[in-house]
Amino acid sequence: MEKFFKLKENKTNVSTEMMAGVTTFFAMSYILFVNPSILSQTGMPFQAVFLATIIASIIGTLIMGLFANVPYAQAPGMGLNAFFTFTVVFGLGYTWQQALAMVFICGLINVLITVTKIRKLIINAIPESMQHAIGGGIGIFVAYVGIKNAKLLDFTVQAEPKNGAVNGDSIVPALGNFNNPEIILAVIGLVITTILVVLNIRGAILIGIVVTTIIAIPMGVVNVSSINWQENSLGNSIGALGTTFGAAFGADGMQSLFSDASKIPQVLMTVIAFSLSDTFDTIGTFIGTGRRTGIFSKEDELALEDSKGFSTKMDKALFADAIATSIGAVFGTSNTTTYVESAAGIGAGGRTGLTSVVVAALFALSSLLSPLIAIVPAQATAPALILVGVMMLASFKDIDWTNLEEAVPAFFASIFMGLCYSISYGIAAGFIFYAVVKVAKGKIKEVSPILWVVNALFILNFIILAIL
Protein backbone atom coordinates (compact mmCIF):
# COMPACT_ATOMS: atom_id res chain seq x y z
CA MET A 1 0.00 0.00 0.00
CA GLU A 2 2.85 2.39 0.87
CA LYS A 3 4.58 1.64 -2.43
CA PHE A 4 1.45 1.85 -4.59
CA PHE A 5 0.10 5.13 -3.19
CA LYS A 6 3.51 6.63 -2.29
CA LEU A 7 2.32 7.67 1.14
CA LYS A 8 5.67 8.79 2.57
CA GLU A 9 6.50 10.72 -0.56
CA ASN A 10 3.24 12.62 -0.12
CA LYS A 11 3.85 13.11 3.62
CA THR A 12 0.85 11.10 4.78
CA ASN A 13 -0.03 7.71 6.25
CA VAL A 14 -2.77 5.07 6.13
CA SER A 15 -4.75 6.34 9.12
CA THR A 16 -4.76 9.92 7.84
CA GLU A 17 -5.86 8.82 4.38
CA MET A 18 -8.64 6.66 5.78
CA MET A 19 -9.90 9.43 8.01
CA ALA A 20 -9.78 11.84 5.06
CA GLY A 21 -11.78 9.38 2.95
CA VAL A 22 -14.46 9.04 5.61
CA THR A 23 -14.59 12.82 5.96
CA THR A 24 -15.02 13.36 2.21
CA PHE A 25 -17.69 10.68 2.02
CA PHE A 26 -19.81 12.18 4.78
CA ALA A 27 -19.38 15.66 3.35
CA MET A 28 -20.79 14.51 -0.02
CA SER A 29 -23.08 11.66 1.07
CA TYR A 30 -26.09 13.93 0.67
CA ILE A 31 -25.88 13.30 -3.08
CA LEU A 32 -27.12 9.73 -2.48
CA PHE A 33 -30.51 11.13 -1.61
CA VAL A 34 -30.59 14.53 -3.31
CA ASN A 35 -29.70 13.21 -6.78
CA PRO A 36 -32.52 10.62 -6.90
CA SER A 37 -35.01 13.15 -5.54
CA ILE A 38 -34.15 15.58 -8.38
CA LEU A 39 -33.84 13.11 -11.28
CA SER A 40 -36.87 11.05 -10.23
CA GLN A 41 -39.05 14.08 -11.02
CA THR A 42 -38.44 13.28 -14.70
CA GLY A 43 -40.08 9.87 -14.30
CA MET A 44 -36.92 7.91 -13.52
CA PRO A 45 -37.37 5.36 -10.69
CA PHE A 46 -35.97 6.76 -7.41
CA GLN A 47 -34.29 3.51 -6.35
CA ALA A 48 -32.75 3.06 -9.80
CA VAL A 49 -31.20 6.52 -9.70
CA PHE A 50 -30.06 5.86 -6.13
CA LEU A 51 -28.12 2.77 -7.18
CA ALA A 52 -26.89 4.40 -10.41
CA THR A 53 -25.56 7.27 -8.30
CA ILE A 54 -23.64 4.81 -6.13
CA ILE A 55 -22.23 2.83 -9.07
CA ALA A 56 -21.14 5.94 -10.98
CA SER A 57 -19.54 7.35 -7.84
CA ILE A 58 -17.69 4.11 -7.09
CA ILE A 59 -16.30 3.66 -10.60
CA GLY A 60 -15.36 7.30 -11.10
CA THR A 61 -13.74 7.62 -7.67
CA LEU A 62 -11.80 4.36 -8.02
CA ILE A 63 -10.38 5.49 -11.36
CA MET A 64 -9.38 8.75 -9.72
CA GLY A 65 -7.71 6.96 -6.81
CA LEU A 66 -6.10 3.95 -8.49
CA PHE A 67 -5.15 5.50 -11.83
CA ALA A 68 -4.40 9.13 -10.90
CA ASN A 69 -3.48 8.59 -7.22
CA VAL A 70 -5.15 11.82 -6.08
CA PRO A 71 -7.63 12.29 -3.19
CA TYR A 72 -10.65 13.37 -5.23
CA ALA A 73 -14.08 11.78 -5.18
CA GLN A 74 -16.60 11.77 -8.00
CA ALA A 75 -20.37 11.66 -8.05
CA PRO A 76 -23.26 13.09 -10.10
CA GLY A 77 -22.87 16.86 -9.89
CA MET A 78 -25.24 19.24 -8.20
CA GLY A 79 -26.39 21.90 -10.62
CA LEU A 80 -25.83 19.51 -13.50
CA ASN A 81 -28.64 17.28 -12.22
CA ALA A 82 -30.88 20.33 -11.89
CA PHE A 83 -30.02 21.38 -15.45
CA PHE A 84 -30.81 17.82 -16.58
CA THR A 85 -34.24 17.86 -14.93
CA PHE A 86 -35.55 21.40 -15.03
CA THR A 87 -33.97 22.69 -18.25
CA VAL A 88 -33.45 19.72 -20.56
CA VAL A 89 -36.49 17.61 -19.62
CA PHE A 90 -39.03 20.10 -18.27
CA GLY A 91 -37.92 23.20 -20.18
CA LEU A 92 -36.90 21.77 -23.58
CA GLY A 93 -39.24 18.79 -23.53
CA TYR A 94 -36.77 15.97 -24.05
CA THR A 95 -37.34 12.57 -22.47
CA TRP A 96 -35.10 11.54 -19.60
CA GLN A 97 -33.71 8.84 -21.89
CA GLN A 98 -32.70 11.48 -24.44
CA ALA A 99 -31.18 13.59 -21.67
CA LEU A 100 -29.08 10.58 -20.63
CA ALA A 101 -27.97 10.19 -24.25
CA MET A 102 -26.82 13.83 -24.23
CA VAL A 103 -24.88 13.23 -21.01
CA PHE A 104 -23.20 10.19 -22.60
CA ILE A 105 -22.16 12.27 -25.63
CA CYS A 106 -20.92 14.99 -23.29
CA GLY A 107 -18.70 12.41 -21.60
CA LEU A 108 -17.22 11.37 -24.93
CA ILE A 109 -16.48 15.01 -25.77
CA ASN A 110 -14.76 15.47 -22.43
CA VAL A 111 -12.64 12.38 -23.07
CA LEU A 112 -11.73 13.74 -26.52
CA ILE A 113 -10.66 17.17 -25.29
CA THR A 114 -8.66 15.52 -22.51
CA VAL A 115 -6.81 13.07 -24.74
CA THR A 116 -6.08 15.80 -27.32
CA LYS A 117 -4.74 18.14 -24.62
CA ILE A 118 -7.43 20.77 -25.24
CA ARG A 119 -8.51 20.57 -21.61
CA LYS A 120 -4.93 21.00 -20.43
CA LEU A 121 -4.37 23.90 -22.80
CA ILE A 122 -7.38 25.59 -21.22
CA ILE A 123 -5.77 25.24 -17.80
CA ASN A 124 -2.49 26.70 -19.08
CA ALA A 125 -4.39 29.64 -20.54
CA ILE A 126 -5.77 30.66 -17.14
CA PRO A 127 -3.68 33.53 -15.67
CA GLU A 128 -2.12 32.83 -12.27
CA SER A 129 -4.14 35.56 -10.55
CA MET A 130 -7.32 33.95 -11.88
CA GLN A 131 -6.18 30.56 -10.60
CA HIS A 132 -5.82 32.03 -7.11
CA ALA A 133 -9.24 33.66 -7.49
CA ILE A 134 -10.74 30.32 -8.45
CA GLY A 135 -9.21 28.73 -5.35
CA GLY A 136 -10.62 31.41 -3.06
CA GLY A 137 -13.91 31.40 -4.94
CA ILE A 138 -14.32 27.70 -4.34
CA GLY A 139 -13.78 28.47 -0.67
CA ILE A 140 -16.68 30.92 -0.84
CA PHE A 141 -18.77 28.36 -2.72
CA VAL A 142 -18.02 25.55 -0.26
CA ALA A 143 -18.71 27.76 2.75
CA TYR A 144 -21.94 28.99 1.16
CA VAL A 145 -23.07 25.40 0.58
CA GLY A 146 -22.38 24.74 4.26
CA ILE A 147 -24.27 27.83 5.39
CA LYS A 148 -27.28 26.86 3.26
CA ASN A 149 -27.20 23.27 4.49
CA ALA A 150 -27.08 24.55 8.06
CA LYS A 151 -30.12 26.75 7.28
CA LEU A 152 -28.32 29.67 8.88
CA LEU A 153 -29.73 31.77 6.06
CA ASP A 154 -33.46 32.02 5.50
CA PHE A 155 -34.42 32.74 1.89
CA THR A 156 -37.87 34.32 1.92
CA VAL A 157 -39.79 36.18 -0.76
CA GLN A 158 -40.33 39.77 0.29
CA ALA A 159 -42.30 42.51 -1.36
CA GLU A 160 -40.00 44.89 -3.20
CA PRO A 161 -41.13 48.53 -2.99
CA LYS A 162 -40.71 50.62 -6.11
CA ASN A 163 -41.46 54.35 -6.06
CA GLY A 164 -43.40 53.93 -2.87
CA ALA A 165 -45.51 51.04 -4.18
CA VAL A 166 -45.11 47.29 -4.09
CA ASN A 167 -44.75 46.20 -7.71
CA GLY A 168 -42.67 43.07 -7.44
CA ASP A 169 -41.15 40.41 -5.26
CA SER A 170 -37.53 39.60 -4.49
CA ILE A 171 -35.76 36.89 -2.56
CA VAL A 172 -33.89 38.46 0.32
CA PRO A 173 -31.57 36.32 2.45
CA ALA A 174 -31.96 36.82 6.19
CA LEU A 175 -30.59 35.21 9.32
CA GLY A 176 -32.43 31.98 10.14
CA ASN A 177 -34.84 31.79 13.07
CA PHE A 178 -33.07 30.28 16.05
CA ASN A 179 -36.22 28.65 17.40
CA ASN A 180 -35.53 25.91 14.85
CA PRO A 181 -33.73 22.87 16.37
CA GLU A 182 -31.93 22.19 13.07
CA ILE A 183 -30.34 25.63 13.11
CA ILE A 184 -29.42 25.27 16.78
CA LEU A 185 -27.82 21.91 16.00
CA ALA A 186 -25.84 23.44 13.14
CA VAL A 187 -24.53 26.19 15.41
CA ILE A 188 -23.57 23.63 18.07
CA GLY A 189 -21.78 21.58 15.41
CA LEU A 190 -20.03 24.66 14.04
CA VAL A 191 -18.77 25.63 17.50
CA ILE A 192 -17.57 22.09 18.26
CA THR A 193 -15.85 21.66 14.90
CA THR A 194 -14.26 25.11 15.05
CA ILE A 195 -12.78 24.41 18.48
CA LEU A 196 -11.43 21.04 17.32
CA VAL A 197 -9.91 22.55 14.18
CA VAL A 198 -8.20 25.54 15.84
CA LEU A 199 -6.78 23.18 18.48
CA ASN A 200 -5.35 21.02 15.66
CA ILE A 201 -7.08 17.89 16.96
CA ARG A 202 -6.38 14.93 14.68
CA GLY A 203 -9.50 14.09 12.68
CA ALA A 204 -11.24 17.26 13.88
CA ILE A 205 -13.66 17.50 10.96
CA LEU A 206 -14.74 13.86 11.14
CA ILE A 207 -15.11 14.00 14.92
CA GLY A 208 -17.25 17.09 14.50
CA ILE A 209 -19.57 15.29 12.07
CA VAL A 210 -19.97 12.23 14.31
CA VAL A 211 -20.49 14.20 17.54
CA THR A 212 -23.01 16.53 15.90
CA THR A 213 -24.96 13.54 14.52
CA ILE A 214 -25.09 11.96 17.98
CA ILE A 215 -26.30 15.24 19.50
CA ALA A 216 -28.97 15.42 16.79
CA ILE A 217 -30.72 12.31 18.14
CA PRO A 218 -31.85 13.66 21.56
CA MET A 219 -32.61 17.03 19.91
CA GLY A 220 -35.13 15.32 17.66
CA VAL A 221 -33.43 16.32 14.40
CA VAL A 222 -32.59 12.67 13.73
CA ASN A 223 -35.25 10.02 14.33
CA VAL A 224 -33.56 6.63 14.60
CA SER A 225 -36.91 4.80 14.83
CA SER A 226 -37.85 6.01 11.36
CA ILE A 227 -35.17 3.92 9.62
CA ASN A 228 -36.88 1.91 6.87
CA TRP A 229 -34.72 -1.08 5.94
CA GLN A 230 -37.17 -2.72 3.56
CA GLU A 231 -38.04 0.23 1.36
CA ASN A 232 -34.39 1.10 0.75
CA SER A 233 -33.12 -2.45 0.39
CA LEU A 234 -30.45 -3.31 -2.16
CA GLY A 235 -32.76 -5.85 -3.82
CA ASN A 236 -35.36 -3.19 -4.62
CA SER A 237 -32.69 -0.92 -6.06
CA ILE A 238 -31.21 -3.64 -8.30
CA GLY A 239 -34.65 -4.48 -9.66
CA ALA A 240 -35.35 -0.86 -10.50
CA LEU A 241 -31.94 -0.34 -12.13
CA GLY A 242 -33.05 -2.37 -15.12
CA THR A 243 -35.23 0.57 -16.13
CA THR A 244 -32.39 3.06 -16.46
CA PHE A 245 -29.40 0.87 -17.37
CA GLY A 246 -28.69 1.35 -21.08
CA ALA A 247 -31.79 3.51 -21.53
CA ALA A 248 -29.60 6.20 -23.11
CA PHE A 249 -29.18 3.98 -26.20
CA GLY A 250 -32.78 2.78 -26.58
CA ALA A 251 -35.63 3.88 -28.82
CA ASP A 252 -36.54 6.70 -26.44
CA GLY A 253 -32.91 7.77 -26.08
CA MET A 254 -30.08 8.01 -28.61
CA GLN A 255 -32.15 6.42 -31.39
CA SER A 256 -34.67 9.28 -31.31
CA LEU A 257 -32.40 12.14 -30.21
CA PHE A 258 -31.40 13.19 -33.73
CA SER A 259 -34.59 12.11 -35.52
CA ASP A 260 -35.86 15.70 -35.80
CA ALA A 261 -33.37 17.65 -37.96
CA SER A 262 -34.75 21.01 -36.79
CA LYS A 263 -33.74 20.21 -33.22
CA ILE A 264 -30.18 19.11 -33.95
CA PRO A 265 -28.67 22.59 -33.30
CA GLN A 266 -30.51 22.73 -29.98
CA VAL A 267 -29.31 19.24 -29.07
CA LEU A 268 -25.70 20.17 -29.87
CA MET A 269 -25.89 23.38 -27.83
CA THR A 270 -27.40 21.49 -24.90
CA VAL A 271 -24.55 18.97 -25.03
CA ILE A 272 -22.03 21.84 -25.14
CA ALA A 273 -23.75 23.42 -22.13
CA PHE A 274 -23.38 20.14 -20.24
CA SER A 275 -19.73 19.88 -21.29
CA LEU A 276 -18.78 23.47 -20.42
CA SER A 277 -20.28 23.26 -16.94
CA ASP A 278 -18.75 19.84 -16.25
CA THR A 279 -15.30 20.80 -17.57
CA PHE A 280 -14.97 24.04 -15.65
CA ASP A 281 -16.41 22.65 -12.42
CA THR A 282 -13.62 20.07 -12.53
CA ILE A 283 -10.84 22.42 -13.61
CA GLY A 284 -11.89 24.87 -10.90
CA THR A 285 -11.85 22.16 -8.25
CA PHE A 286 -8.42 20.86 -9.27
CA ILE A 287 -6.83 24.29 -9.44
CA GLY A 288 -8.53 25.58 -6.32
CA THR A 289 -7.66 22.65 -4.06
CA GLY A 290 -4.54 21.22 -5.70
CA ARG A 291 -2.33 24.30 -5.86
CA ARG A 292 -2.33 25.18 -2.15
CA THR A 293 -2.02 21.63 -0.86
CA GLY A 294 0.68 20.44 -3.25
CA ILE A 295 -1.45 17.56 -4.57
CA PHE A 296 -0.54 18.81 -8.03
CA SER A 297 3.07 19.96 -7.87
CA LYS A 298 4.54 22.80 -9.87
CA GLU A 299 6.20 20.13 -12.01
CA ASP A 300 2.76 18.63 -12.71
CA GLU A 301 1.44 21.99 -13.87
CA LEU A 302 4.51 22.76 -16.00
CA ALA A 303 4.38 19.29 -17.56
CA LEU A 304 0.95 20.08 -18.97
CA GLU A 305 2.62 22.11 -21.69
CA ASP A 306 4.69 19.29 -23.20
CA SER A 307 3.61 16.02 -21.51
CA LYS A 308 2.48 13.14 -23.69
CA GLY A 309 -0.09 10.51 -22.78
CA PHE A 310 -0.69 10.23 -19.03
CA SER A 311 2.70 11.13 -17.63
CA THR A 312 1.49 13.37 -14.79
CA LYS A 313 -1.12 13.15 -12.03
CA MET A 314 -3.02 16.01 -13.64
CA ASP A 315 -3.18 14.10 -16.95
CA LYS A 316 -4.60 11.07 -15.22
CA ALA A 317 -7.00 13.01 -12.99
CA LEU A 318 -8.50 14.88 -15.95
CA PHE A 319 -8.98 11.60 -17.83
CA ALA A 320 -10.56 9.93 -14.80
CA ASP A 321 -13.05 12.77 -14.49
CA ALA A 322 -13.85 12.75 -18.21
CA ILE A 323 -14.60 9.06 -18.50
CA ALA A 324 -16.81 8.97 -15.38
CA THR A 325 -19.60 11.01 -17.01
CA SER A 326 -20.23 8.51 -19.81
CA ILE A 327 -20.12 5.61 -17.34
CA GLY A 328 -22.73 7.32 -15.17
CA ALA A 329 -25.00 7.93 -18.16
CA VAL A 330 -24.93 4.22 -19.04
CA PHE A 331 -26.25 3.30 -15.59
CA GLY A 332 -28.77 6.13 -15.44
CA THR A 333 -27.59 9.38 -13.88
CA SER A 334 -26.60 12.87 -14.92
CA ASN A 335 -23.02 14.12 -15.32
CA THR A 336 -20.53 12.58 -12.90
CA THR A 337 -17.95 15.15 -11.87
CA THR A 338 -15.13 15.74 -9.40
CA TYR A 339 -16.69 16.91 -6.15
CA VAL A 340 -15.68 20.17 -4.54
CA GLU A 341 -16.51 18.47 -1.21
CA SER A 342 -13.28 16.55 -1.74
CA ALA A 343 -11.79 19.66 -0.16
CA ALA A 344 -13.17 18.45 3.18
CA GLY A 345 -11.04 15.29 3.01
CA ILE A 346 -8.06 17.23 1.71
CA GLY A 347 -8.49 19.59 4.64
CA ALA A 348 -8.41 16.52 6.91
CA GLY A 349 -5.03 15.53 5.46
CA GLY A 350 -5.87 13.42 2.39
CA ARG A 351 -3.10 13.56 -0.20
CA THR A 352 -3.21 10.32 -2.24
CA GLY A 353 -5.56 8.00 -4.07
CA LEU A 354 -6.02 5.94 -0.91
CA THR A 355 -8.44 8.63 0.25
CA SER A 356 -10.47 8.08 -2.93
CA VAL A 357 -10.43 4.30 -2.50
CA VAL A 358 -11.86 4.70 1.01
CA VAL A 359 -14.59 6.98 -0.37
CA ALA A 360 -15.43 4.40 -3.06
CA ALA A 361 -15.59 1.63 -0.44
CA LEU A 362 -17.99 3.68 1.66
CA PHE A 363 -20.18 4.34 -1.37
CA ALA A 364 -20.30 0.56 -1.92
CA LEU A 365 -21.17 0.01 1.73
CA SER A 366 -23.89 2.63 1.50
CA SER A 367 -25.80 0.41 -0.92
CA LEU A 368 -26.40 -1.90 2.05
CA LEU A 369 -26.64 0.66 4.80
CA SER A 370 -28.37 3.54 3.07
CA PRO A 371 -30.96 3.98 5.85
CA LEU A 372 -28.18 4.47 8.42
CA ILE A 373 -26.33 6.94 6.21
CA ALA A 374 -29.55 8.87 5.88
CA ILE A 375 -29.49 9.77 9.58
CA VAL A 376 -26.38 11.94 9.16
CA PRO A 377 -28.11 15.34 8.91
CA ALA A 378 -26.96 18.16 6.68
CA GLN A 379 -26.40 20.20 9.83
CA ALA A 380 -23.64 17.75 10.83
CA THR A 381 -21.66 18.10 7.60
CA ALA A 382 -22.34 21.81 7.14
CA PRO A 383 -19.72 22.94 9.72
CA ALA A 384 -17.07 20.89 7.89
CA LEU A 385 -17.84 22.66 4.62
CA ILE A 386 -17.86 26.10 6.25
CA LEU A 387 -14.46 25.62 7.88
CA VAL A 388 -12.90 24.10 4.77
CA GLY A 389 -14.17 27.15 2.90
CA VAL A 390 -12.46 29.39 5.45
CA MET A 391 -9.18 27.53 4.92
CA MET A 392 -9.41 27.89 1.14
CA LEU A 393 -9.87 31.66 1.32
CA ALA A 394 -6.10 31.82 1.95
CA SER A 395 -5.67 31.79 -1.85
CA PHE A 396 -6.86 35.40 -1.93
CA LYS A 397 -3.63 36.56 -0.30
CA ASP A 398 -1.76 35.92 -3.57
CA ILE A 399 -3.96 38.35 -5.51
CA ASP A 400 -2.90 41.99 -5.81
CA TRP A 401 -6.20 43.61 -4.82
CA THR A 402 -4.71 47.10 -5.25
CA ASN A 403 -4.30 46.39 -8.98
CA LEU A 404 -7.76 46.59 -10.57
CA GLU A 405 -6.55 44.62 -13.59
CA GLU A 406 -6.26 41.64 -11.26
CA ALA A 407 -8.90 42.61 -8.71
CA VAL A 408 -11.93 43.06 -11.01
CA PRO A 409 -11.74 39.65 -12.78
CA ALA A 410 -10.81 37.97 -9.48
CA PHE A 411 -13.82 39.52 -7.77
CA PHE A 412 -16.29 38.34 -10.40
CA ALA A 413 -14.74 34.87 -10.60
CA SER A 414 -14.83 34.29 -6.85
CA ILE A 415 -18.01 36.08 -5.75
CA PHE A 416 -20.14 34.77 -8.62
CA MET A 417 -19.27 31.20 -7.66
CA GLY A 418 -21.11 31.62 -4.40
CA LEU A 419 -23.90 33.96 -5.50
CA CYS A 420 -24.69 31.97 -8.67
CA TYR A 421 -24.17 28.66 -6.81
CA SER A 422 -21.97 27.48 -9.67
CA ILE A 423 -18.21 27.13 -10.06
CA SER A 424 -18.45 27.25 -13.86
CA TYR A 425 -20.57 30.45 -13.90
CA GLY A 426 -18.05 32.10 -11.59
CA ILE A 427 -15.22 31.13 -13.92
CA ALA A 428 -17.24 32.43 -16.89
CA ALA A 429 -17.75 35.81 -15.21
CA GLY A 430 -14.06 36.03 -14.31
CA PHE A 431 -12.85 35.08 -17.78
CA ILE A 432 -15.18 37.54 -19.52
CA PHE A 433 -14.20 40.45 -17.29
CA TYR A 434 -10.53 39.52 -17.62
CA ALA A 435 -10.87 39.98 -21.39
CA VAL A 436 -12.86 43.21 -20.95
CA VAL A 437 -10.22 44.70 -18.66
CA LYS A 438 -7.31 43.73 -20.92
CA VAL A 439 -9.02 45.17 -24.00
CA ALA A 440 -9.77 48.40 -22.13
CA LYS A 441 -6.10 48.67 -21.09
CA GLY A 442 -4.86 48.02 -24.61
CA LYS A 443 -3.33 44.68 -23.59
CA ILE A 444 -5.40 42.44 -25.82
CA LYS A 445 -2.33 40.29 -26.66
CA GLU A 446 -2.21 39.15 -23.02
CA VAL A 447 -5.49 37.30 -23.51
CA SER A 448 -4.83 33.77 -24.73
CA PRO A 449 -6.63 32.70 -27.95
CA ILE A 450 -8.03 29.81 -25.93
CA LEU A 451 -9.66 32.24 -23.50
CA TRP A 452 -11.29 34.05 -26.43
CA VAL A 453 -12.73 30.76 -27.67
CA VAL A 454 -13.88 29.76 -24.19
CA ASN A 455 -15.47 33.19 -23.62
CA ALA A 456 -17.28 32.94 -26.95
CA LEU A 457 -18.67 29.54 -25.95
CA PHE A 458 -19.73 30.83 -22.55
CA ILE A 459 -21.49 33.83 -24.08
CA LEU A 460 -23.15 31.65 -26.71
CA ASN A 461 -24.27 29.30 -23.96
CA PHE A 462 -25.82 32.20 -22.01
CA ILE A 463 -27.57 33.45 -25.15
CA ILE A 464 -29.04 30.01 -25.90
CA LEU A 465 -30.22 29.62 -22.31
CA ALA A 466 -31.83 33.08 -22.47
CA ILE A 467 -33.62 32.26 -25.71
CA LEU A 468 -34.79 28.89 -24.46
* Angstrom distance (rounded) from CA 170 to CA 159: 6
* Angstrom distance (rounded) from CA 177 to CA 37: 26
Which residues fall within 8 angstroms of residue 223, CB to CB, at 6 or more apart? none
Report the C-alpha dihedral over residues 450, 454, 456, 462, rounded to 10 degrees.
-170
* Angstrom distance (rounded) from CA 71 to CA 346: 7
* Angstrom distance (rounded) from CA 456 to CA 376: 43
- Strand 74-76 versus strand 336-338 pairing type: antiparallel
Amino acid 370: pLDDT: 67
CB 220 within 8 A of CB 181: yes
332 vs 10 pLDDT, higher one: 332
What ranges in 80-203 are assigned the alpha helix state H? 80-82, 96-115, 118-125, 128-150, 181-198
Tens of pLDDT, residue by residue over 177-196, are 888 899 999 999 999 999 99
CB 101 within 8 A of CB 257: yes
Angular region, 79: left φ>0, alpha ψ -120 to 50, beta rest: left
* Residue % of the chain over a pLDDT of 90: 41
Amino acid 154: pLDDT: 77
CB 272 within 8 A of CB 461: yes
- Please report, as a single letter, which amino acid is at residue 461: N
Q: Where are the domains of the chain?
A: 2-467
How large is the average pLDDT for residues 34-41?
89
Characterize 208-230 residue by residue with b for buried, 16 or more Cβ atoms within 10 angstroms of its Cβ, and e for exposed: bbebbbebbeeeebbeeeeeeee
* Angstrom distance (rounded) from CA 100 to CA 255: 12
Q: Which residue in 224, 320, 216, 231 sits closest to 47, CA to CA?
A: 231
Average pLDDT over all residues of the chain: 86
Which residues fall within 8 angstroms of residue 421, CB to CB, at 6 or more apart? 79, 141, 144
pTM: 0.76
For residue 227, is pLDDT > 80? no
Amino acid 165: pLDDT: 46
First to last CA, the chain: 51
The length of the chain is: 468
